[in-house]
Amino acid sequence: MESNPPRRRRRAFDWSTATIAIFAFAAAAAVFWRDGPEHFLAILGSDFTLLGEMLPKVLAGCLIGAFVTLLLPRELVARWVGHESGFAGLAIAALFGFILPGGPITIYPVACAFLAMGADAGAVVAFITSWTLIGYTRALVWELPFFGSDFVIWRIVEALPLPILAGLLARIAVRTGLARMGDRA
């Protein structure tokens, strides 16, 4: 009845992680060399505390993402955000971006499923932008530990109109021929 989104094989370690590992290792070595072992250990300790605080939230976020991906009635969603859906479709796509949790592994396949079921590029752009900028799991799991709630809420308020704006810009680009999407499946 329901089709699973396409899955991508992945390894636990990739180029993205390797790049960051190189940055992190160089920075750690610089701190050790510049400020001495005591300061190095103090930073290491606070980083591990932060990590310990984040892990239960990350696990919760992963489980929420997995369940929502399995439970989501994608056919229904696609009808709501189809390319005849007008402004309401953009707003609904943005709302889905807000409520749908998960990382890039779950969100892009869902966006692809929307496209395959007839959602227009504008709705997909609104959806991804919304998930990126105002998605609640992303904010709670990743952003809050660094910035604190006042700053995050303030940032999200400013980001609220952006998903719909991005969706409108994408539709204008497609309609005026600035971007071609090819034949719709």
Partner 1 sequence: MTLAINIMLWLVVGALGLGAALRGRVLLNDGTRDGVVEFIHLLPRIGIGVVGSGFVAEVLPKALIAPWLGPESGLTGVIIATLGGALTPGGPVIGFSIGAAALKSGAGAPQVIAYSTAWALYAIHRLLIWEVPLMPARVVWLRAAVSLPLPFIAAAAAMVLARP
Nearer to partner 1, 76 or 182 (CB): 182
Closest CA to 90 of 62, 98, 30: 98
Residue 71: Cβ within 10 Å count: 8
Instruction: Answer yes or no whether residue 108 interacts with partner 1 by CB under 8 A.
Output: yes
Q: How far is the CB of 165 from partner 1 (least distance, A)?
A: 7
Instruction: Select the span of 74-82, 84-92, 136-144 touching partner 1 (CB under 8 A).
Output: 136-144
Instruction: Select the span of 74-82, 84-92, 124-132 touching partner 1 (CB under 8 A).
Output: 124-132
The CA-CA-CA angle for residues 11, 48, 106, to 5°, reads 35
Q: Which of 78, 93, 94, 128 binds partner 1 (CB under 8 A)?
A: 128
Name which of residues 26 to 85 contact partner 1 (CB under 8 A).
27-28, 30-31, 34-35, 43-44, 46-48, 50-51, 53-71
- HEC letters along 41-98: HHHHHHHHHHHHHHHHHHHHHHHHHHHHHHHCCHHHHHHHCECCCHHHHHHHHHHHHH
Kindly write out the interface string for residues 137-166 of this chain, putting x where it contacts partner 1 by CB under 8 A and - elsewhere.
Answer: x--xxxxxxxx-xxx--xx-xxx--x--xx
